[in-house]
């Protein structure tokens, strides 16, 4: 028996790295899994590979249930077909794990519009399309008087929460995903749908270039940055047990699970009237002195 018995879950970008670890854990916990992966490189180029099929083979060889899907997560029609495939094959849908993405690292002064658009397309539109079709299905079930216990699990990043040098587009997209999660949670609760986000810290194709040595496996030590470390959290968020948790962002580093607090009101000073321009600087200095220290942008000291 697993915590996801009889659940049906779509995992995007599930052919490698974190997505693969999620798919394998979900299947081990009893879920039927739609393993989605377009098979592109770390920068989004076609490789001609089909890693989704390899993951499905692993799952079925272990006695689990899974099917492969090769849709582009930013393709509206293709993601609609993917959701329909899950429902037709396994009889329903309970969770969507939005994991697919790639990077185009570039300092802001060197970034191009095409690179910017590519990152927004795969991360923001990619998170939107699959979830939107899933929500249509769950909303229809709710309107028909059927019980709904839906889950959206999004992927943000520390880059999205406090920025990362050389990753303006990626940081912006991931920050948008964190905010989208808050809105989804607020709007969709009435239908029986929760929305949460992860900021995983793992050794993947997307991190090995920037953090390769820091995230490498050390002989004899607990493998802090193994993708498998995040998988149990994903399985729990997709399960019925997480029904009371929504609108949250979780960070996991090795065995350390952190609940991110996000933006909140800081120090304030009320003049009781319109501020004079020459007064503003002093007020800002006092507010900055009173505020808690912010986490630094990645890549700065």
pLDDT in tens, 139-187: 999 999 999 999 999 999 988 788 788 899 999 999 999 999 999 999 9
Q: Give strand pairing partners of 31.
A: none
pLDDT in tens, 185-211: 999 999 999 999 999 997 765 555 554
Q: Do 262 and 238 touch, CB atoms closer than 8 A?
A: no
Q: What is the mean pLDDT of the chain?
A: 91
Question: How many C-beta atoms lie closer than 10 Å to residue 137's C-beta?
Answer: 18
The percent of residues in the chain predicted with pLDDT above 90, rounded, is: 76
* pLDDT on residue 60: 98
The percent of residues in the chain predicted with pLDDT above 70, rounded, is: 91
Q: Do 117 and 36 touch, CB atoms closer than 8 A?
A: no
Name the CATH superfamily housing domain 8-260: NAD(P)-binding Rossmann-like Domain (3.40.50.720)
Active site residues: 157, 170, 174
Give the integer Cα–Cα distance in Å for 295 and 268. 20
* pLDDT on residue 292: 87
What order of strands is seen across the sheet that includes strand 193-200? 65-69, 32-36, 8-11, 95-97, 150-155, 193-200, 249-253, 256-260
**Choice between 22 and 161, residue whose per-residue pLDDT is larger:** 22
Global confidence as pTM? 0.90
Give the integer Cα–Cα distance in Å for 1 and 7. 12
Q: CA 285 from chain center: how many Å? A: 36
Q: Give strand pairing partners of 167.
A: 106
Question: How many C-beta atoms lie closer than 10 Å to residue 232's C-beta?
Answer: 17
């Amino acid at each position: 028996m697993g915590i996801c018995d009889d659940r049906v879950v779509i995992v995007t970008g599930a052919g490698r790295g974190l997505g693969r670890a999620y798919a394998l854990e979900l299947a081990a916990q009893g879920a039927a899994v739609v393993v989605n992966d377009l098979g592109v490189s770390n920068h989004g180029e076609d490789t001609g590979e089909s890693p989704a099929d390899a993951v499905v083979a692993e799952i079925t060889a272990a006695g689990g249930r899974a099917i492969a899907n090769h849709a582009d997560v930013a393709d509206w029609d293709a993601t609609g077909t993917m959701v329909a495939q899950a429902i037709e094959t396994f009889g329903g849908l309970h969770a969507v794990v939005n994991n697919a993405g790639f990077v185009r690292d570039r300092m802001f002064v060197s970034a191009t519009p095409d690179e910017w658009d590519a990152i927004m397309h795969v991360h923001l539109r990619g998170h939107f399309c699959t979830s939107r079709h899933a929500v249509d299905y769950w909303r229809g079930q709710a309107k028909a008087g059927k019980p709904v216990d839906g889950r959206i699990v999004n992927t943000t990043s520390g880059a999205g929460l406090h920025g990362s040098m050389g990753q303006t587009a990626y940081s912006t997209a991931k920050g948008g995903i964190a905010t989208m999660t808050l809105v989804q949670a607020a709007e969709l609760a009435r239908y029986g749908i929760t929305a949460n986000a992860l900021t995983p810290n793992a050794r993947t194709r997307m991190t090995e270039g920037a953090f390769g040595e820091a995230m490498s496996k050390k002989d004899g030590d607990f493998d802090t940055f193994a993708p498998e470390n995040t998988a149990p959290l994903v399985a729990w968020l997709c399960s019925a047990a997480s029904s009371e948790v929504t609108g949250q962002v979780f960070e996991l580093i090795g065995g350390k699970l952190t609940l991110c607090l996000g933006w909140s009101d800081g120090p304030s000073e009320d003049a009781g009237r319109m501020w004079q321009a020459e007064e503003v600087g002093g007020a800002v200095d006092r507010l900055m002195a009173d505020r808690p220290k912010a986490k630094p942008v990645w890549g700065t000291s």
